[in-house]
């Protein structure tokens, strides 16, 4: 079993956190190719923290450099 099969079999809810709309678009397309259907998005670290409080995500793909709150600070809070 490769890593993709392992992830696809276990991950159902994904949060994409990025302030660049093009990156979000690309990640959504890539994830849909692997049949991930439940994908949410946030545009900065503060939105990511708020989303993570409301929903239990299996995977969060976090950008590092974002306005309002960067990915490092958001990750510390979410953990």
pLDDT digits over 26-72, tens only? 999 988 887 787 789 999 999 999 999 999 998 899 999 999 999 99
Torsion, CA 55, CA 37, CA 40, CA 2, rounded to 10: 80
Strands (E), the chain: 13-17, 38-42, 59-62
CA distance 39 to 65: 21
Q: Would you state the pLDDT for residue 9?
A: 67
CA distance 8 to 27: 15
Span 7-20, pLDDT tens digits: 666 777 899 999 99
Domains (range + CATH), the chain: 11-78 (3.40.50.2300)
Find the DSSP H helices in 1-70.
3-10, 21-33, 45-54
């Amino acid at each position: 079993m490769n890593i993709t099969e392992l992830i696809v079999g276990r991950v159902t809810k994904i949060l994409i956190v990025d302030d660049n709309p093009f990156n979000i678009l690309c990640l959504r397309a890539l994830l849909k190719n692997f049949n991930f259907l439940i994908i949410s998005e946030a545009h900065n670290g503060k939105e990511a923290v708020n989303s993570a409080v409301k929903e239990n995500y299996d995977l969060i793909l976090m950008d590092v450099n974002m306005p309002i709150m960067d990915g490092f600070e958001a990750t510390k809070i979410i953990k």
